[in-house]
Amino acid sequence: MSIIDQPKDWFASLSLPNGVLPILVVAGVLLVLGFYTATDPARLDSSQILSGSDYVGYAVCHRITDRSFTIAGRQLPLCARCTGMYLGIVLAFVVLLFAGRQRWSNLPPLSVLIALGFFMLIMAFDGLNSYSHFFPEIPHLYEPRNWLRLTTGMGTGLAMGIIVFPALAQTLWKQQIIRPSVADLKELLGFVILALILIALVLSNQPVILYVLGLASAAGVLLILTTVNTIAALIILKKDARAEKLQQIIVPLLIGLTIAIVQVALISFLRFTITGTMTGFPGI
């Protein structure tokens, strides 16, 4: 395997424009598109578009209404925790892609992994406390809040994205850059700052912003499923670490996406057949 060991570092710090500026540009474009479509109902029926995203969320999320954010009474495709988690995955992938780290194949150092593990433990703790409220006889430590679900989900989503991204690089590329996707805690702090901005945008309760981020969270479901499916397919078929050009990764990624769409469709169909509802579960 040919290894590139002296790459140009496009991501010395997220505090630099070439780390943050592309994210702000993408966010700006999405918000402009959101305003363009949302200010004139004739341009787009947002309810219909979100309804399509509902099926994606329905495959992976409980979609309990009172645990979800809403746009004018219409709930988002994913619950508050899953919204944060899948937005965190999208954020991690987008930052690393814009930073030019698509071939960086090492996991982050131990200090970063410990921090990411801590993010996941916090979500697990908050999730258990939240779940305990389904059973009034079970003691719980505090009253669950959707902003807590969103925040802890965002931390776990960052962890998932930062860990899975280099695994995809290992599986796709023949020529890899043997460096960690996130070098240190300083770079991780940059992700956290961007995540806090996303959290603030969700909590702003502005319909257009929620509309755009709701779609992005549903896209995050397909993103992580596509990634995992691509990794698994290439390893099973013994076709991993062979791509040398960008064009050579298109087919594996399309295979992963196709499998993801089939998974979402099948799970949503089976769940609706069993429960008969698109939100929550019968009796909840």
* DSSP per position, 147-194: HHHHHHHHHHHHHHHHHHHHHHHHHHBSSEEEEESS-SHHHHHHHHHH
Q: What is the pLDDT of residues 103-135, one digit of tens each?
A: 999 999 999 999 999 999 999 999 988 887 777
Nearest to 105 by CA among 172, 182, 167, 160: 167
Q: What is the pLDDT of residues 142-177, one digit of tens each?
A: 888 999 999 999 999 999 999 999 999 999 999 999
Sequence-distant (≥ 6) Cβ neighbours of residue 259 within 8 angstroms: 225, 226, 229, 233
List the domain boundaries for the chain: 15-275
* Cβ proximity of 78 and 154 under 8 Å: no
The pair of structure tokens assigned to 30 is 């999405």
- Spatial distance between the Cα atoms of 177 and 169, rounded to a whole number of angstroms: 9
- Spatial distance between the Cα atoms of 83 and 202, rounded to a whole number of angstroms: 9
Taking phi over 0 as left and psi of -120 to 50 as alpha, with beta for the rest, 72 belongs to left
Q: pLDDT band at 181, cuts 50/70/90? A: very high
pLDDT of residue 31: 55
- Spatial distance between the Cα atoms of 223 and 218, rounded to a whole number of angstroms: 9
Please determine, for residue 8, whether its predicted confidence score (pLDDT) is greater than 50: no
pLDDT of residue 30: 53
